[in-house]
Amino acid sequence: MLKEDIIADTSDNHSKAKPIPSFHPAAQIRRLIENISKAFVGKETVTTQAVLALLAEGHVLLEDVPGLGKTLLAKAISKSISAEFKRIQFTADLLPSDISGVTIYSQERNEFSFRKGPVFTHILLGDEINRATPRTQSSLLEAMEESSVTVDGELYPLQRPFFVMATQNPIELEGTYPLPFAQMDRFMIRLKIGYLNREEEIKMVRMQQHSTPVDSLTPVMDCTTLTRIQNAVCEIRMEDQLRGYLVDLVRATRECEALEYGASPRGCLDLQRYSQAIALLDSREFILPDDIKTAARLLLPHRLIVKRGTRSVTANASSLIKQIIDSVPVPV
């Protein structure tokens, strides 16, 4: 998994007279993860993976049973970066205009004006996204891909950072609409939270005896700093040999006999950006093959369609990705 046990140690520099630069991306990322973990306890791996997707300017699909803290994770992230947070409860009667906004006519001013929808925010939580109709689900496609919204022929850019966290319940299928393949491909990563162990669950119950921990969280960075870190992710170096290795991994999914459809070129771009985020967290200026392998295990399974037509069987897709990773030679 990701390297989560790296802790910034600057205590030996305190006695020195050298000035310390104010911008340390890796240290700030770890501090962000630690702050989120104060409220979202026992799931540092999931927290790290979600934060890396945020830094890579991707979007996250949280797929698990109710009550595991999916909403809590989104709120903890927004409070930790002092970002604007909005939530949409997806239902069958939700309309696309309820998400993007609507143009209305003002009789007083005798003109049309645009009333922004909840998509105009920094962090958007789409709760139970599979309960909305495909038409409403598709209203997020442009926002997730291009960070903009088109309403009545007018283009409205979204503010940066823009991060979508959507949830869906894989257990209750009655009254739900499976996410279309194009929508799944726009999520950089699909995460499962899982249950806490006994000690962590006791800690969680104790922490929430009087209040919710997320209410007492204080920001550890602002949106400007987050944007600087996102820009720093793009500067992580990738050698041409590793770029070829990354493309070979994605192309191998399209040639796999067990798969009906493999990963798209967007999968290549997401793999590169997520690998860069992993390297930055590890305080490196370059990508290693292990970064690409880690990213491939996380980012590719939900983009594949197994030939027997059950995209929901994640275990099969994950095992196929492992086989593909083992079969593609690593450049020396």
The answer to whether 124 touches 149, Cβ cutoff 8 Å, is no
Q: What is the pLDDT at residue 175?
A: 66
The domain locations on the chain are: 22-209, 235-332
Closest CA to 277 of 78, 84, 60: 60
Instruction: Kindly list the distances between the CA atom of residue 36 and the CA atoms of 7, 30, 202, 229, 279, in Å, as whole numbers in the listed order.
Output: 15, 10, 18, 17, 21
Whether 22-209 and 235-332 share one fold: the answer is no
DSSP string, 138-164: HTTHHHHHHSEEEETTEEEEPPSS-EE
Q: What is the pLDDT at residue 271?
A: 96
Q: What is the pLDDT at residue 51?
A: 96
Question: Taking the model in full, what pTM does it have?
Answer: 0.86
Distance CA 138, CA 142 (A): 8
Q: What is the pLDDT at residue 67?
A: 78
Q: What is the pLDDT at residue 250?
A: 94
235-332: in CATH 1.10.8.80: yes
Distance CA 159, CA 147 (A): 8
E strands present in the chain: 60-63, 85-89, 101-106, 111-116, 123-127, 148-151, 154-157, 163-168, 189-191, 259-261, 305-306
Distance CA 8, CA 1 (A): 19
Closest CA to 124 of 173, 91, 90, 175: 90
User: Where is 289: in which H helix or E strand?
Assistant: helix 289-299
DSSP strand pairing (60-63 vs 189-191): parallel
Q: pLDDT truncated to tens, each residue of the chain (332 aa)? A: 444 443 334 334 333 434 434 678 999 999 999 999 998 888 899 999 999 999 999 999 998 887 788 888 999 999 999 899 999 999 889 998 999 998 888 777 788 888 899 999 999 999 988 888 888 888 888 899 889 998 888 899 999 899 999 998 877 766 677 888 888 889 999 999 888 889 888 988 888 887 788 888 899 999 999 999 999 999 999 999 999 999 999 999 998 888 888 889 999 999 999 999 999 999 999 999 999 999 999 999 999 888 765 444 444 888 889 999 999 999 87
**In sequence order, what are the residues at sequence separation of 6 or more whose Cβ sits closer than 8 angstroms to the Cβ of residue 259?**
253, 304, 305, 306, 307, 320
The phi, psi pair for 235, rounded to 5°, reads -85, -5
Length of the chain: 332
CATH number of 22-209: 3.40.50.300
The phi, psi pair for 156, rounded to 5°, reads -120, 110
DSSP string, 25-91: HHHHHHHHHHHHHTTSTT-HHHHHHHHHHHHTT--EEEE--TTSSHHHHHHHHHHHTT--EEEEE--
Distance CA 225, CA 208 (A): 30
Work out the angle between the directed axes of helices 25-37 and 70-80 (0-180°, nearest 10).
140
Q: What is the pLDDT at residue 4?
A: 40
User: Residue 218, SS3?
Assistant: coil
Q: List, for residues 116-148, the tens digit of each pLDDT value.
A: 999 999 999 999 888 888 888 888 888 998 899
One-letter amino acid for residue 163 of the chain? F
Distance CA 47, CA 167 (A): 15
